[in-house]
Amino acid sequence: MMTEPDLTTVLEEAEHVAEQHDQVARTTDNQAHEYLRYAVLRVLEGEADQLPADWTPIDGVTVGYGSDDAMFDSWGSSEDWWESVPPQEACTRFRVFFPDDHQTVPRDIVDVMAALGA
């Protein structure tokens, strides 16, 4: 389970992104989600300003997000968990894609997604 300091890392990076990289959200419907998406990507890639000393960057990671219905339309047929957690109205989900050379989901991804309540 992700600790509070790790959640703080993600949120502080999202604030940094909003202040320093505001252009990433100019063309999106929900700027806060885009800042958070980009922050999660920077944290997982090891590019964030403040990271735990033992953080292991992940190469080739992609972070996506979208409204529940749209994501369900894209991935619902290929993801078993949609049946147990059906689309929620006014909900946005994050998706993290990583290279398939990992035998299991990298711990850093598990921690970040836990912080987001995913």
Mean pLDDT of 60-87: 80
Q: Percentage of the chain surpassing pLDDT 70?
A: 96
Predicted pLDDT at 85: 77
Confidence of residue 118 (pLDDT cuts 50, 70, 90): low
Average predicted confidence (pLDDT) for the chain: 82
Predicted pLDDT at 3: 64
Amino acid at 102: H
Mean pLDDT of 54-81: 82
Mean pLDDT of 4-17: 85
41, 66 contact by CB (below 8 A): no
Coil, helix or strand at residue 97 = strand
pLDDT tens profile 45-66: 999 888 888 888 888 888 887 7
Coil, helix or strand at residue 62 = strand
pTM confidence score:
0.76
Predicted pLDDT at 92: 78
Nearest-angstrom CA–CA distance, 1 and 4 = 10
Mean pLDDT of 30-38: 84
